[in-house]
Amino acid sequence: MNQIKPIAIYLPQFHPISENDKWWGKGFTEWTNVVKAKPRFEGHYQPHLPADLGFYDLRLEEARLTQEAMAKQYGIHGFCYYHYWFNGKRVLHEPLDRKMKNPKEDLPFMLCWANENWTRAWDGGIEDVLLQQNYSADDDREHIKFLLSYFKDERYIKVEGKPVFIFYKPDLFPDMASTIAIFREEARKENIELYLGCFERWIGWNKEKMQEYDFDAIIEFQPLSRTMRLYKEYLKKRKQTILKRLEIKFRKKLKWESKPSEKDFLVDYERFVDFDLQCNNRGVYPCITPMWDNTSRRVGQKATMLVNSTPELFKYWYQNKIKAENFKGLDEKFIFINAWNEWAEGNHLEPCQKWGKAYLKAII
């Protein structure tokens, strides 16, 4: 357990699928969102455009192999692929399916079930559901039986021989404990013990919740995290004080959060990092993010941005999060990085035209 193991969250959206053709137009991929982003204020870094890897198609072996080679070069232990399952219907599975058949793609991996409805949130139709999650015991059994083939793969990331599987939004399950029990029961029929985790996100789950539902781990999800919820509360209280007038007067001088548009929520990256490190979120697998700006997914809507991020600040955050005390009581030295390639959320380790490989270099 001595080695730090960075796990980069991986989005498989970069290839056409029939569903996206139908909903968004022929040939739609995540790149469609990326290139349409516009700066919303002076100095706003948009659009985020790829450099070394270009506008790749994840159906191509060459693209996936190049990603894996780059990840290895800069110390990434493995990818955490988003896995999309809607009562037996899978989407965006082609990159991983092709990896499974290709021994040359040998970077370790794990899966996270992105268990939320697909909606038209990108264009304002949040209530317009495109694919819906319907939970049931029967579906849980069918699902885990399907997943077992991945868990048996020698490249799959395990803790003490147990495959790691993550639930993205555990709070959406009507009976999370039952789902976990079914997953464990069916896996044991194949002599597999599971290592089950969930992303903490806004909900701020603690060890008591983890034990209640029989999770093995809780993982931070930056920046949509417990830290951000606490930071928003902190900002709200601060604005209620007399210092609000000073903030308005000296905002630029003091580098406090500016608001070019009341529709957007801006947070200074350095201040957020310092606040996070003070939160001392022990007993939870750490997570960091190089950047965050979901402008391209929020055209005409409120966007959330971490502003003034730099590779140096990212490195500072990383080095502080991997200190030994942060892994006390944990079974492994995983640190999750959100993300490898969330380009439409301005959130990527992959080289961009502004920063090149600087964020990758920060973690070696």
Task: Annotate 221-288 with DSSP letters as a single string.
Answer: -SSSSHHHHHHHHHHHHHHTSTHHHHHHHHHHHHTPPP-SSTT-EEEEHHHHHHHHHHH--TTSB-EE
- Per the CB < 8 A criterion, the answer to whether 180 and 213 are in contact is yes
Average pLDDT value for the chain: 91
The model carries a pTM of 0.92
Amino acid (1-letter code) at residue 117: N
pLDDT tens readout for residues 80-130: 999 999 999 999 999 999 999 999 999 999 999 999 999 886 544 456 899
Nearest residue to 217 (alpha-carbon basis) of 71, 330, 134: 330
Q: Which two tokens stand for residue 187?
A: 């896996």
pLDDT tens readout for residues 256-311: 444 445 578 899 999 999 999 999 788 899 999 999 999 998 877 888 899 999 99
Polymer length of the chain:
364
Q: Are strands 334-337 and 304-307 parallel, antiparallel or unpaired?
A: unpaired
CA distance 256 to 50: 30
Domains and CATH numbers, the chain: 5-240+269-301+309-361 (3.20.20.80)
In Å, the largest CA–CA distance within the chain is 65
Q: Is the dihedral of CA 320, 325, 328, 333 positive or negative?
A: positive
Average of per-residue pLDDT across 43-59: 97
Nearest residue to 64 (alpha-carbon basis) of 29, 98, 27, 35: 98
